[in-house]
Homo-oligomer: A and B are copies of this chain.
């Protein structure tokens, strides 16, 4: 448990982080805004999934997810197949063009981060990753579940909170 002045300082850091986010957004391809990039990246990491699962991973309402997905489908980067097990659902899958786009996004972000964080050690970057992962876990995020490729070893010290999410408008 920390002091209140520390929480205020942390809040200022959160607020200022917007500048980093915007700079990263500016280097993205003009036809692939942040929402589309997030959809592609999650599909690449976790594999084929339904809309509801994607909304959960994005931590946004499914209506928002639907818009992002529609944009990405229009570009030919993913395809929506009907789910044979549930005709209400649709399965999302990356196309080859989508994978190429993911590679391009990855290339651009890695390039910018390598430039800006050139004097950060491997350990320091890892420390920031761990702290931010814990932060969003403690804020009820669900992305701590094991990804498809199991690249990040999530030892069972952080509960998943999967059921705390709505993904749905109260309606």
List the interface of chain A (C-beta within 8 A of B). 1-24, 34, 37-38, 41, 45, 59-60, 106, 109-110, 113-114, 116-122, 124-129, 131-136, 138-141, 143, 151-152
A13 touches B133 (CB 8 A): yes
Query: How many copies of the shown chain assemble into the complex?
Result: 2
Given A1-B114, A13-B129, A124-B131: A139 and B19 within 8 A (CB)? yes
A116 touches B138 (CB 8 A): yes
Most buried by B among A19, A41, A45: A19
Contact among B1, B9, B22, B126 with A129 in the assembled complex (CB-CB below 8 Å): B9
Most buried by B among A16, A22, A124, A151: A16
Given A20-B136, A141-B19: A129 and B10 within 8 A (CB)? yes
Residues of B within 8 A of A2 (CB): 114, 117, 120-122, 125-126
B10 touches A125 (CB 8 A): yes
A interface SS class: helix
CB distance from A16 to the nearest CB of B (A): 5
B141 touches A110 (CB 8 A): no
B16 touches A143 (CB 8 A): yes
Tell me, in angstroms, the Cα distance from A17 to B14 when the chains sit together.
Answer: 9
CB distance from A119 to the nearest CB of B (A): 8
A122 (CB) vs chain B CBs: closest residue: B2
Residues of B within 8 A of A5 (CB): 151
Contact among B19, B34, B106 with A136 in the assembled complex (CB-CB below 8 Å): B19
